[in-house]
Structures are given as structure tokens and as C-alpha cells.
Homo-oligomer: A and B are copies of this chain.
């Protein structure tokens, strides 16, 4: 969508699939550029524009500075100007067209596109070599078109990076001109007939005298291409990253793309040769989103989320088998299960095999069996299987059975265990994966784990079957005396405590339903009936917590908690996407439960409770910390499960959330945690792709 002028300055990630890299730009006057394995924007400059005579005109994709690095070398002839000598375009000069798989910046005479193709990611175990290679290529594209058809003098098209480190220049005119930097792990190249440029500061950009690149430690480098009067010419640029050899520790793996490419030049060259295919894939995505009936703000949020998601993805080679990892944005934790369960819907659309891959990693390496304990008691009882919060961080895998996040001995605060929630997450993910993929072999293979999960759910409720409520009542022995938390760890206690937590209770109900469905599909009739009964028990307990005085269900069923939380309804997404229509039908077996949650939602979804003054959604009445991914998810549930039509208000909600991203997270691309519209944490985050659900409504 074409953005209004006042909303055209913000960073977007432009990322290859599975390379954990991003070519980030779009915010005016800010650093950006190409980075690898970094949970934040690059710290460089991107120069895109034209040179006419001595006049250099560029888009504002760099931080304005006047300290040329030439001063480190030449003390006699200090430069007078640096960025001051450039004509830097302003917001009013630029039209930004932000799309699902591309980002366009259009001025009077240039059209600069950044293209980040994605689509159905082929299952590497069944795809042929060529398809695998194309899918794994760690590259995005830039296309610079300079229109000089009305011009009277030559315009020189300019594309360069600055502040990215000293490069290795390569110049084979008209075939391959490129720069490799960052230990040879990052680079860009073009097949256009260009003059390479390398200089200390861009204000000195001009054609070299032809004898050589000069000097080879100049920190601004790129391409210049003459466009004669009457001409319109294009420069196609591939921007890639390549990390060779073992890229991880703890579990040592290279990137998947190293099976198909020998080095970065190989990647950049291949990409330029196959650009038409990639451009077409991106155009399909652009058209797909454009064709929906969603509003521009909704399209923006979907596109923005998707852009940030790929920057966090990492596709490894685990001794010949693919290993999928999504990093947790700025935190770079691996496959954080809280995120996996929210990004599930996106991955089921574009890469169902990655869902299977992650679920199996959790089974094989990151599951554990514990015991449980009732609150305020030291007696332990049988617990059961659960899964770790994550699988490590920053390319360092944690030991088998342990996350990098969870610490024992903490009582319901940040960094405690999330044993119950991750168990629920595994069950819900498995339910959705099996139902949507029809992968019966997977279910058969892991039926024992599914059964163990059910046992574990029951044991975490209460050791005595007769005292079970369907809701988590025990703490894991892993807590070592402390208490478990939920993914909303850093929000307020209304969402942080796991035990007797409304959000987690409803998600547990969904997990019981998922178990029942999985047992039904494997003809485990008795277990299916039992799991259905567990779900009903859970629903009854939750309904019993309705507080007539408050007019809603409090967030935590103890300690007189009175918080009102929207995520109460989050769990309903699972039966909905699993196709369990009965379970969510108002006239179905859980009709009263669904009606109660709808009533809860309608009661709290009001200004001053769970709505910000700007019409943005506020997840909890008692915390000024609202998460975009969860807002998107709850919107989907409210509309598609409850059938709520927000009418005119919908546009106001969407506009607010779009503004949070553009004005509240301008530098950090798509972020998750917002405090009154300002991104406060979970920056540069992949999780917001929950909003892919909107495309299915």
C-alpha cells in the first residue's frame, strides 16, 4: 500500500529465508543496512540516488554525520564537508509503497525497490536439489531504476553502503561487480555495467580515473551507472550473507545453504542469474495481499510482521537433515516455544514442515520429565513430560532438556520455569499441525508423546484425580520451590503467574480438546473421551470463576486478583483453526463456555479497561504493556469465533496499531511489546505474524 507522507519513515526488515540476516532500511536519518545474526538494525549507511555533475542527491537512509574517516589518515587535508555536501531527500519528496514482499521508494526520477521474496517453502526432504538451492539462497534484492527520459544531461545512478567495514572489491565489468565485507560474510553485487565506487565519504563520490579502486579502505562503496538523456535504466543488486562452516555451538551445525553454495560470491552470482524467478515470487505475494479486502492498515500490519519474521529465521543442516530455528528478535533465543505457538499459523501456511521440524526437536532434545508439587508444600508427586521454554540463544544451543531462559528457585517472576505452558503449547501446536497437514505418520510416530502429554496435564492439575479442576494447580519440581510463570512473564502478575491463570486455563481447555481430537484420529476412544471430559471440567471451572461484582472473570483465580485480561480468549484460536467447529459453536457442547468468554470480552473491551485512548487494544487492565502479536490473535478470535463485528471502530483499532509500529517502533521495524504506543521491549520481533490469521477470515 502507498503510505501517507507522514507515515513513510520507519525501518523495515528485508530478509532472506533462514539466513538470520536483514537489509534494514526505511527510517529517515537513521543507521541501517545489511547485518547478519544481529537482533537489531545494522549500524551503517545506505546511499541511493543520483549524481548530476557535482550534485549528489540521495534518499535519507543514513545518520547525518560530518566526521569523514579520511581524518584518520590525512591530517593535512581535512575535508570541509561530508554529508553536508549531499542533497538529502525529505519525506515529502518520497512516495513509499510498502508491500508483502517488497518495499518501494519513488521520487521524481528514481524508483528504488527492495525485494524480499518468500512463499511456499519446499519441504527439503522431498524437494529436488535445484528447488532446495533456490529456496535456501541467502539473498534479497534491490532494484534501482533511474528515469532520465526527460533529462538534458547524464544522470548517474548511485547505490552504495557506508559504515559497513572495509570491503573486498571485485570488478568484472558487466558481469559481476561487488563488495564483500564483514569477514567476507556479507556483500552485494550487480550484473549491470557499472563503475565501482569506493571513497572515504560519499560527498566525494565521482568516477575514479579508471586505474583502480581508490583507496581500498574507503568505507563507502557501491556502484555508479550512467543514464544518458532520453534513457531509463535499471540496476539489479543482490544483497546476501554467507556464514561458512559450523555456525552454532552446543549443537554444531552449518547453515543449510552451505550444501548448495560454496561462498558469498557464489550466492550473489546465482541470485542475479535467477532474479526473474525471485522477483516473480515476490510479486505473487504482493498481489496476494493487495487482492484481499483488508484495510490498508491491516495490510500494513501483515506485511510489516512478515518482514520482521524472516529476519529471525535460521535454517541449519543437522548432519544432513534440516533444522529450523526462529530467533526471538532482539533476544535471539532459539525456537522460544511461546513464539512458536503464535507463529504456528504463519508457518502452517508457508512451511508446515518447519512446524513438524521444531516439534520434533522439542521431543528429541528439549523435552523433560519432572515431578510436581502443590503450592505451599514440599511433597512431590508424579509430574510428566514437558518442553523447554527455548533451545538456547545467540547460536549457542543449551544442553538437552534445558532452556537458556528458565532458572529454578524463582517464584512467579521473570526467568522462572514455564513447564505447564510449554506442555500446552506442544499439544496445541501438534493438534494444529496434524489437523491441517493430515500428517498421520507424524501422529503415529509420536503417539506416546501425545499420551504422555495428557498424563502430564492431568498430574499438573492435582495429584488426586477427584480434586482436579481442569486447571493447573501444581508447580514443577524444576522450580525448586518457586512457582511457574507464563509467556507474559514481563507483563504484570495478572498474566505472569501460571497457576490458576485464566489465560492458561483457556489454553489448557484447548489443549484437552486437541488431545481428544488426536486420540480420536488414532482410535484411542477411551482417551478421547477422557480428554473431552477434561476439557469440560476445565471449562466448568473457568465459568465458575465469573465474578458478578466485577462483571468478568478475574485474571488469576486467587489472592483476590481483579485484573481484566483480553488473552482470556486467546486459547479459542486452536479449536477454530483445527476445524473443531462443534467446540466453539455457541450451540455446541461448550456453548456456555464460549458464551461466557464472549461476555467476558465484551465486558472488558472498553475504554479505561482494555482499550487505550487511541483505540489501541490493552491486553490487561492493570498493565501498560500490550503485545501486538497477542492483540492480532485476540482480534481474530473475537471476530471469527465470537462473530463480533467491530464496525467503524475496527478502522480506529487498526490505525492505532499501525501508528504504534510506525511512530512507536520507528527504528526497530516490527516490535511486540508496547507501552502506550511506544515499543518498550521485544523489539525487531518475529511473533507478530499471528496476524496472518486475518487472511483466513
Whether A74 pairs with B413 at a CB distance below 8 angstroms is yes
Interchain CA distance A325-B209 in the complex, whole Å: 30
B415 adjacent to A215 (CB under 8 Å): yes
- A680 at the binding interface (Cβ < 8 Å): yes
| Per-residue interface assignment for chain A, residues 403 to 429, with 1 indicating a CB less than 8 Å from any chain B CB and 0 otherwise | 011111100011100000000000000
| 13 extra interface residue pairs, beta carbon distance < 8 Å, beyond A72-B681, A184-B249, A209-B480 | A72-B330, A73-B681, A74-B490, A75-B490, A76-B493, A166-B394, A180-B396, A211-B409, A215-B406, A216-B404, A217-B331, A244-B245, A244-B246
Say whether A490 contacts B73, CB under 8 Å: yes
In the complex, what's the smallest C-beta–C-beta distance from A450 to chain B, in angstroms?
28
Known A211-B480, A396-B216; contact A73-B414, beta-carbon cutoff 8 A: yes
Whether the pair A168, B249 counts as a contact (CB closer than 8 A) is: yes
A186 to chain B, nearest CB (A): 12
Contact: A168 with B209, CB < 8 Å?
A: no
Contacts A76-B490, A330-B72 given: A405-B215 contact, CB under 8 Å?
Answer: yes
- Cβ of A72: which chain B residues have Cβ within 8 Å of it? 330-331, 681
Q: Contacts of A453 on B, CB cut-off 8 Å?
A: none
Is A402's beta carbon under 8 Å from chain B? yes
Q: Is A212 in the interface zone, CB < 8 Å from B?
A: yes
Q: Which 5 A-B pairs have the closest CB atoms?
A: A216-B404, A166-B394, A74-B414, A168-B396, A168-B249
Give the total of A residues in contact with B, Cβ under 8 Å.
58
**A469 sits at the interface (CB 8 A):** no
Cβ of A8 under 8 Å from chain B: no
A492 CB within 8 Å of chain B: yes
Cβ contact within 8 Å between B212 and A402? yes
Interface flag for A333 (CB, 8 Å): yes
Smallest beta-carbon distance A586→chain B, Å: 38
A332 contacts across to B, CB distance below 8 A = 166, 217
Asked if A404 and B246 make an inter-chain contact with CB atoms under 8 angstroms apart, the answer reads no
| In contact, A209 and B409 (Cβ under 8 angstroms) | yes
Q: How long is the Cα–Cα vector from A681 to B480 in the complex, in angstroms?
A: 56
The one of B166, B167, B392 that contacts A216, using a Cβ cutoff of 8 Å: B392
Which residue of chain B has the shortest Cβ distance to A408 in the bound complex? B211
In whole angstroms, how far apart are the Cα atoms of A621 and B480 in the complex?
A: 74
Interface of A is mostly: loop
Residues 167-192 of chain A, each 1 if its beta carbon lies under 8 Å from chain B, else 0: 11000000000001001100000000
Residue contact A625 to B404, C-beta cutoff 8 Å? no
Q: How far is the CA of A406 from the CA of B681 in the complex (A)?
A: 48
Q: Is A77 an interface residue (CB 8 A)?
A: yes
- The closest CB in chain B to the CB of A243 belongs to B183
Say whether A165 faces chain B, with CB atoms less than 8 Å apart: yes
Alpha-carbon distance A212/B215, docked complex (angstroms):
51
Q: Is there a chain B Cβ closer than 8 Å to A220's Cβ?
A: no
Contact of A526 with B by CB under 8 A = no
Which chain B residue shows the least CB distance to A407? B214
Q: Does A398 contact B (CB under 8 A)?
A: yes
Q: How far is the CB of A627 from chain B (nearest CB, A)?
A: 12
Chain B residues closer than 8 Å to A166, beta-carbon distance: 332, 393-394, 396
Least distance between A696 CB and chain B CB atoms (Å): 33
Q: How far is the CB of A318 from chain B (nearest CB, A)?
A: 17
Judged by a CB distance under 8 angstroms, whether A250 is at the interface is yes
Question: How far apart sit A402 and B214, CA to CA, in the bound complex (Å)?
Answer: 11
Cα(A489)–Cα(B243), bound, Å: 38
User: Smallest Cβ distance from A107 to chain B, in angstroms?
Assistant: 33
Mark interface residues in A313-346 (1 if CB within 8 Å of B CB, else 0): 0000000000000000011110000000000000
Residues of A41-84 at the interface with B, using a CB-CB cut-off of 8 Å, are 72-77
Residues on B with C-beta less than 8 A from A73 are 331, 414-415, 490, 681
Complex Cα distance, B249 from A407, in Å, reads: 44
**Are B215 and A492 in contact (CB-based, < 8 A)?**
no
Separation of A680 and B184 alpha carbons in the complex (Å): 30
Give a binary string over A121-140; 1 marks a CB under 8 Å from any B CB, 0 the rest.
Answer: 00000000000000000000
- Give the docked Cα–Cα distance between A244 and B394 (Å): 19
**A367 contacts chain B at the CB level, 8 A cutoff:** no
A75 to B489, CA, bound (A): 9
Which single residue of chain B is at the shortest CB-CB distance from A415? B215
A395 close to chain B: CB less than 8 A: yes
Complexed CA–CA distance, A76 and B492 (Å): 7
Taking the nearest CB of chain B, how far is it from the CB of A525, in angstroms? 41
